[in-house]
Structure 1
Amino acid sequence: MKRLVLALAVTACALGITATPATAGPVTAIPDDQNIAAVPVAGLALTLVRGSFKAMALTIVPLHQFPAFDNIITRESGWDVFATNPTSGAYGIGQALPPDKMRTHGLDWRFNPLTQIRWTYDYMVDRYGSPQGAWEFWQQNHWY
């Protein structure tokens, strides 16, 4: 676990990602005799994980297309690998419908962010020509 947190922290620093507290409220003081830290770890970890997913996407999506890709993913799933639309059943980072379409890119499609990112990028290119084309469509329709 420590290695994972360290790897995520290094990735976040390299990308210039900053962590924000999970809550905006004050942190209760800890007595001096306790060797523990009052850190909102869950919020920090989630921020770092989403940052590392974006770093993964940058290995697939051309840099000039990344802002469009990020705009869609942020709105569709918030970079949540397990995001599920309660109405349609769309699933994952790119909100595939039906979800098992992602199987073409790997049997681990249910939980692997890299598989989902690859599928989503290929879908955008196949259907709209590019992430930018998908983003232009999304802005008109609020879906893609």
Structure 2
Amino acid sequence: MSRISVRGFAVASATAVTTVGAVVGVASGNTQSSNSNDLETTASDGTLLADIPAGQHAQVQTTSVAQQADAQAMAADTAAKKSAAEAARKQAAKDAVAKQQAAEKAEKAEKAEAAAKKAADKKEREEAAENKASRSSGRDAGSFAPQSSYSVSQVQAMARQMVPAGQFQCFSNIVNHESTWNYKATNASSGAYGLVQALPGTKMASAGADWRTNPATQIKWGLNYMNDRYGSPCGAWDFWQANNWY
């Protein structure tokens, strides 16, 4: 029951009382209007009559406030759940994107690694083929007629015919540092001998008995040594640059 309805009830009750009083007054011959007016005024103000439903009015107000608080709490809870659900959805979408990006990155890295391995394998095969060719191509030492002596240019010409073209410069660099193309060069302290400074010089006997006097025999032995130990004259030259020996 609202305040208006309670007050209306009070007013209606006062009106009824006033009416009864008036009737009684007429019947008794009492026509004092002041009493009726006072009673009606009191009823209209609700000062006295309004006190009657005061407890009920307070209860209605308390119930209304509690209902409003409950409604606000439910609305807040619903909003919080909606916000949490939206945040979870956004986070899930973000995680899915990150996962996809990570997968794409891993796939790209895997492909790059596979391509690098393929390129390395190809290079290794090419180098192996080149090394094999360097071992078998060129003139043999025995195809040169023996001479009593050889000039530097003659020795270099023999080496160009025996060493593969792609490896000649590396071979030449080593010989320049070891003997300056002197096929009779001897290291007094170590005993190393010849174009490639074999140590000891007798190792070159495996390439020919004339290793002391035939530069072709020394070139043959030096080329075989570089191929066997370093893969090629260029491999030997790389090692020489890092260590000043080979």
Give the TM-score normalised by structure 1.
Answer: 0.66
- The 5 Å alignment of 1:45-56 reads 49-56=151-158
Deviation at 1:117, TM superposition (A): 0.5
- Which residue does the alignment assign to 2:232? 130
Q: What pairs up with 1:45-124 in 2 under 5 angstroms?
A: 49-124=151-226
Larger radius of gyration: 2
CA distance in 1: counterparts of 2:243 and 2:162, whole angstroms: 25
- SS state of the match for residue 133, structure 1? helix
CA distance in 1, matches of 2:234, 2:196: 15
Give how far 1:49 is off: 1.3
CA RMSD of aligned residues (A): 1.4
Cα distance in 2 for partners of 1:115, 1:85 equals 19
* Higher RCO by CA contacts (8 Å cutoff, separation 6 or greater): 1
Task: Tell me, in whole angstroms, the C-alpha distance in 2 between the residues paired with 1:67 and 1:120.
Answer: 14
% same residue? 55
In structure 2, C-alpha distance between the alignment counterparts of 1:50 and 1:70, rounded to whole Å:
12
What is the letter of the counterpart of residue 186 of structure 2? T
Paired position in structure 1 for 2:41: none
For residue 79 of structure 1, report the CA deviation from its aligned partner.
Answer: 0.7
Q: Which runs of 5+ in 1 are unaligned?
A: 1-45
Q: What residue identity is the alignment partner of 2:215?
A: P
SS of residue paired to 1:96: coil
Structure 1 CA distance, aligned partners of 2:245 and 2:169? 17
Distance in structure 2 (CA, Å) of the matches to 1:141 and 1:127:
15
Give 1:75 deviation, angstroms: 0.6
Deviation string 1:59-116 (CA, Å, 9 cap, x unpaired) is 1110010010000001100111111111111000010011101001111001100000
Q: Cα distance, 1:125 vs. partner?
A: 0.4
Larger helix fraction of residues = 2
* Distance in 1, Cα, partners of 2:233 & 2:177: 14
CA distance in 1, matches of 2:188, 2:235: 26
Q: Quote the Cα distance in structure 2 between the aligned partners of 1:87 and 1:139.
A: 22
Q: Partner letter of residue 56 of structure 1?
A: M
Structure 2 portions without partners, runs of 5+: 1-148
Aligned equivalents of 2:213, 2:201: Cα separation in 1:
12
Runs of 4+ with deviation above 4 angstroms:
none
1:139 aligns with 2:231: no
